[in-house]
């Protein structure tokens, strides 16, 4: 499973005395609404939106009705890395709850299937091998079979079953697409399948030689990042560990399109309108 994490921190630009997250990108749609509306369509088990305390209430207003897990950063004065730390810790706890729920569902549906088999299959005849369908026999739920279904293969979802992790988005990069998300998940999952324990811990979108977002990391790597000092600048730290990063080269310009000022906001808005026409 992969958990999506969207960060709202102080690294974003301010436009007209408000964070760019809440600037209008299109009529009736803000930058953060555009970001999250794309992320929630990706192949992820859940979407966490981690906001600094001063942004939290406004973010809640903009994202009302979205299927997200809002997270208020507990200690905004702890440092620039605090939203990522809190977000990754929350994503890890979400994974634990999700795994427990999945295990419970697996046991429940397996028991239901066994009950149905009990009504149809006779008890084994003495001296013969059991075929595993008599009363008391338990079948294991085959979650891997879901990867072969037509629905699961859409938008990289099949690969999200292959390798677990957290995919990190920035709330001021509104031109990401579902295809970009799927491309990152596909590359991350494929390397895991091909290289096993030797697979790199991170996968990062790279457009025309420029590093961007999203960044996907294994849960083991996410715990390592969450343990870094609160003053850490994540992008700088990732560059220092570049040997652990899988570059995912993409034609998707949205990977590096960041709202920095009014001009870049207008340019991104225009390109998005052109993309939709």
What pLDDT is recorded for position 64? 94
The whole-angstrom separation of Cα 108 and Cα 102 is 10
* 275, 268 Cβ separation under 8 angstroms: no
For the segment 192-216, what is each residue's pLDDT rounded down to a tens digit? 989 999 999 999 999 999 999 999 9
User: 165 φ, ψ to 5°?
Assistant: 175, -175
Contacts of 95 (CB under 8 A, 6+ apart): 1, 3, 45, 164, 219
The CA distance from 141 to 107, in Å, is 8
pLDDT (tens digit per residue) in 232-246 = 999 999 999 999 999
Mean pLDDT of 75-81: 77
pLDDT score at 243: 98
In terms of Cα–Cα distance, which of 192, 180, 191 is closest to 156?
180
Instruction: Please tell me which residue, 149 or 90, carries the higher pLDDT value.
Output: 90
Of 30-34, 42-46, 69-73, 109-113, minimum mean pLDDT range: 109-113
Q: Count of CB atoms within 10 A of residue 70's CB?
A: 14
Q: 249-265 b/e with 16+ CB inside 10 Å = b?
A: ebebbbbbbbbeeeebb
Architecture in CATH for domain 2-100+155-276: Alpha-Beta Complex (3.90)
Cα(240)–Cα(224) distance, integer angstroms: 14
pLDDT of residue 16: 82
The tens digit of pLDDT for each residue in 247-271 reads 999 999 999 999 999 999 999 999 9
Average pLDDT, the chain: 84
Contact 248, 179 (CB under 8 A): no
Count of Cβ atoms closer than 10 Å to residue 185 Cβ: 28
Q: Quote the strand ranges of the chain, DSSP E.
A: 2-8, 14-15, 18-19, 24-26, 29-30, 46-51, 69-72, 165-170, 202-207, 210-217, 245-249
Q: Look up the pTM and report it.
A: 0.82
């Amino acid at each position: 499973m992969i958990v999506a994490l969207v960060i709202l921190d102080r690294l974003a630009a301010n436009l007209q005395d408000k964070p760019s997250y809440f600037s209008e990108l299109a009529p009736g749609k803000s930058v953060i609404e555009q970001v999250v509306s794309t992320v929630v369509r990706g192949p992820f088990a859940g979407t966490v939106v981690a906001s600094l305390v001063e942004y939290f209430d406004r973010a809640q207003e903009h994202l009302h009705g979205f299927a997200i897990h809002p997270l208020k950063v507990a200690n905004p004065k702890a440092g620039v890395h605090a939203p990522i730390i809190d977000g990754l810790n929350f994503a890890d706890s979400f994974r634990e709850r999700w795994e427990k729920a999945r295990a419970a569902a697996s046991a429940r549906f397996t028991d239901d299937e066994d009950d149905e088999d009990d009504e149809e299959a006779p008890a084994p005849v003495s001296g013969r091998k059991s075929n595993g369908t008599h009363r008391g026999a338990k079948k294991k739920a085959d979650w891997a079979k879901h990867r072969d279904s037509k629905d699961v293969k859409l938008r990289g979802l099949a690969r999200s079953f292959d390798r677990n992790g957290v995919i990190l988005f920035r709330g001021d990069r509104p031109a990401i697409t579902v295809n970009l998300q799927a491309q990152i998940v596909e590359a991350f999952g494929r390397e895991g399948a091909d290289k096993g324990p030797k697979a790199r811990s991170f996968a990062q979108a790279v457009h025309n030689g420029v590093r961007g977002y999203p960044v996907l990391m294994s849960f083991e790597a996410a715990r390592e990042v969450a343990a870094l000092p609160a003053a850490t600048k994540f992008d700088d730290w990732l560059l220092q560990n570049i040997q652990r990063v899988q570059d995912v080269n993409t034609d998707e310009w949205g990977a590096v399109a960041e709202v920095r000022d009014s001009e870049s906001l207008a340019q991104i808005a225009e390109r998005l309108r052109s993309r939709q026409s």
